[in-house]
A and B are shown apart, each in its own frame.
Chain A
Amino acid sequence: MDLTVERNLHSLITSTTHKWIFVGGKGGVGKTTSSCSIAIQMALAQPNKQFLLISTDPAHNLSDAFGEKFGKDARKVTGMDNLSCMEIDPSAALKDMNDMAVAQNNQSEGLGDLLQGGALADLTGSIPGIDEALSFMEVMKHIKRQEEGEGERFDTVIFDTAPTGHTLRFLQLPQTLSQLLDKFGEIAGKFGPMLNSLAGGAQNMDIMGKMNELKGNVEKIKQQFTDPDLTTFVCVCISEFLSLYETERLIQELISYDMDVNSIIVNQLLFAEYDNEHNCRRCQARWKMQKKYLDQIDELYEDFHVVKMPLCAGEIRGLKNLKKFSQFLDKEYNPESDNKVIYELEEQN
């Protein structure tokens, strides 16, 4: 029985079942580069499918990584027919919400006036966790759109997530919402008619109906996120103590949420002994330190797809550079034969 785990992401890149792929880790370890690389490789490997890369990090990097501007609506990456990107902008989404509220309340003078000038957006924008909530709403919107066959269909959504804390909160949301909605459901059962009448008979808002719909959507997401055939999490780290520690904790948290996690990308490796041209003392010392943690990673994660990625000489920005770099996710980097690639990246202005 062959149970060896490949040191690459080939099985994920060629996977036809995965709908949600999360890429996350500590700040500054190369999450955006890794998520872009995965998205590009998947799009290249499966040209008949549509892929969407969403940034849920409030400090978006996708536009800079690809060198073109993405917004709150999905937009195709120039040069790739089946890969789109979007950056969820909490302030813009909140502004839309505010405008909608103003439009709805323009008959009732007091409230409409109050909301003019983005009061609601200002208020809700300051709530901690609102970025994660908006990202989550985006996921719900996406699922609904797919079910109703509206707009562009995406077969797989890749999330370029925010640093660990934010991401865990985002992944906790289905659970939190589900429990909160259960609680609200209990009250609504008792006070439903009263709530409906408070909401205004003219608008005829069926609060209970809306709540049940929301609950159904949340349950669906919860189910999908915990299905290993549909959802997986790719951890990104560097070969250093704090990063390794946070990766382990992240993995344990994810397992506790019943989420599948089987891949780890170790970025920024020096492979100094194979680099005869640029093998300074500092590189050697750092590589020695990296090797120490790499050994531990190999030992701790023998059942994981551990992908070792090199530190490149230039910045990995722009589609061409990303394509070059991302090939090592599909076929592991060989420091002896692939060494030249790390000096080949084009300068981006």
Chain B
Amino acid sequence: MSELSEAEKRRILRERRQKKFSNGGASSRLNQITGQTEKSFLSTESPLDSRSSTPSTPTPAPTNNEQSTKQMEELLASISAPSSASKGNKPKSEGSSNPQMDLFAQLAKMQQSDANESTPDTPDIFAQLLKSVQQQESAQSSSEPPADAAMIEAHNKKVNKLKAFTVLIKWLFFLTPYIIYITNPAHNVVGSSLLDSMLKRSNFFTVFTSFEVVAISVYYQILLSVEKSHKVNTLQSNSKILQLVSMVPEGLIPIRDLRGKASLALQYWDVLSMYLTDLCFALVLMGVLHRFYYAF
């Protein structure tokens, strides 16, 4: 039999080594080591056994280059847990109502465990940047498959249509008749006392604001169901500000959860702009009607 070349021998040995570390072998090796002492508190969870199955590099090696440790998977699970009730395998105490807070809590926990396992290092910027990038990528791939451009376009069309319909219904079927009625100098309220108080001119802002709250809530409910069915987040896929903010690595600016805060601010702005648009419409209509009533 011919002699093996040095390179070939190295390759065979490498494959043999990798085989020993695969299929749970890595954890059992750690178990074997910790089993040597009676009392060991060291973790026997292997970074290899918890790797995700999707390869990230074109190399045919059995392991991949991704940094998806078990801790990372746990982190992602905890982030996606509040959004899907079916994935409720995490204890309730860990899944608070704010996924961003969960993320920070988990990052702090991971950093702590890292420090305990190896050296007591301070958290470094590169590890955190990697984690934030991977978190974004994995969150997209695990909880919400990335929507393609066509889907986003269709979604945007539907959302615009919904917004237009909402405005039309509000303006045509509520605001216009209501303002015509209250601006009419000859308007006389008869009937129940509730209706009477509602149609008083002095109660305009109360009635208007109450209506806006109901109308905007209904609009957002419908928008959420559309987003759920399309698996597209309208704000995230359309807002340039949010896209820019998401590129700022966590930790560079001394504001925690900058992206979450920006997203919240934009949502408030969206609500406020709807309210202001309706108010402007009401004021313009009032001016026109006032002129109409007193001109003739």
A residues lining the B interface (CB < 8 Å): 1-3, 5, 11, 27, 127-129, 132-133, 163-166, 168-169, 172-173, 175-177, 179-180, 183-184, 187, 191, 222, 226, 228-229, 241, 244-246, 248-249, 251-253, 255-258, 260, 262, 292-293, 296, 300, 303-304
A101 CA / B271 CA spacing, docked (Å): 46
Nearest A-chain residue to B2, judged by Cβ: A1
Tell whether, in the assembled complex, residue A262 and residue B59 are in contact, meaning their CB atoms are under 8 Å apart: no
With A11-B6, A226-B59, A257-B65 already in contact, the answer to whether A128 and B122 are too (CB < 8 A) is: yes
Task: Say yes or no: A228-B10 contact (C-beta < 8 A), given A165-B119, A256-B47, A303-B20.
Answer: yes
Indicate which residue in A1, A165, A303 contacts B17 across the interface (CB closer than 8 Å): A303
Chain B neighbourhood of A179, CB < 8 A = 130, 133-134, 137
Please report the C-alpha to C-alpha distance between residue A300 and residue B34 in the assembled complex, in whole angstroms: 13
Contacts of B33 in A (CB 8 A): 241, 244-245, 248, 296, 300
Q: Looking at the complex, which one of B17, B59, B118, B129 makes contact with A258 (CB distance below 8 Å)?
A: B59
> Which B residues touch A253, using CB under 8 A?
47
A285 to B73, CA, bound (A): 44
List 11 other contacts, CB 8 Å, given A184-B247, A257-B65. A127-B124, A165-B114, A165-B119, A173-B126, A180-B130, A180-B133, A183-B247, A245-B34, A252-B21, A256-B63, A303-B17
Tell me whether B65 and A129 are in contact (CB under 8 A): no
**Distance A241 CA – B117 CA, assembled complex (angstroms):** 14
Q: Which residue of A5, A27, A248, A255 is within 8 Å of B63 (Cβ)?
A: A255
Please determine whether B247 and A187 come into contact, CB atoms closer than 8 angstroms: yes
CB proximity of A69 to chain B, nearest CB, Å: 27
How many chain B residues touch A (CB < 8 A): the figure is: 56
Contact yes or no, B65 A262, CB < 8 A: no
A229 to B10, CA, bound (A): 9
Instruction: Find out whether the CB atom of A303 lies under 8 angstroms from the CB atom of B122.
Output: no
A-B pairs, 10 with minimum CB distance: A129-B124, A128-B124, A165-B118, A176-B130, A165-B119, A128-B122, A129-B126, A179-B133, A303-B17, A252-B48
Once A1-B4, A129-B127, A169-B126 are accepted as A-B contacts, the answer to whether A252 and B61 lie under 8 Å apart by CB is no
- B contact set with A: CB distance below 8 Å: 1, 3-4, 6-7, 9-14, 16-18, 20-21, 26, 29-30, 32-34, 36-37, 40, 42, 46-48, 51, 57, 59, 61, 63-65, 67, 114, 117-119, 121-127, 129-130, 133-134, 137, 243-244, 247
- Which residues of chain B come closer than 8 Å to A172, judged between CB atoms? 67, 126-127, 130
Task: Judge whether B29 and A248 touch: CB under 8 Å.
Answer: yes
Q: Is the CB of A260 within 8 A of B57?
A: no
Q: Would you call A5 and B13 a contact (CB within 8 A)?
A: yes
Interface of A: prevailing SS:
helix
State which of B11, B16, B121, B247 has its C-beta within 8 Å of the C-beta of A166. B121
The 8 listed contacts between A and B (C-beta, < 8 Å) are: A3-B9, A166-B119, A180-B130, A226-B61, A249-B118, A255-B48, A258-B65, A296-B36
On whether A132 and B114 interact (CB within 8 A), knowing A228-B10, A253-B47, the answer reads no
Residues in chain B near residue A246, CB distance under 8 A: 118
Question: Once the chains bind, are B36 and A248 in contact (CB under 8 Å)?
Answer: no
Q: CB < 8 Å: which of B3, B18, B32 contacts A255?
A: B18
A164 vs B243: C-alpha distance in the bound complex, in angstroms? 36
When distances are taken between beta carbons in the complex, the residues of chain A under 8 Å from B64 are 256, 258
Is the Cβ of A176 less than 8 Å from the Cβ of B129?
A: yes
Q: With a 10 A CB-CB cut-off, give which of A172, A228, A245 has the most chain B CB atoms.
A: A245
B26 touches A252 (CB 8 A): yes
Q: Are A245 and B30 in contact (CB under 8 A)?
A: yes
Q: How close is A172's CB to chain B, nearest CB, in angstroms?
A: 7
CB contact under 8 A between A300 and B63, given known A176-B129, A241-B37, A262-B10: no
Does the CB pair B47–A249 fall under 8 Å?
Answer: yes
B61 touches A258 (CB 8 A): yes
Which of the listed residues A168, A175, A245, A249 has the most CB atoms from chain B within 10 Å of its own CB?
A249
> Contacts A3-B12, A165-B119, A256-B51 given: A180-B42 contact, CB under 8 Å?
no
> Do residues A293 and B36 form an inter-chain contact, with CB atoms below 8 A?
yes
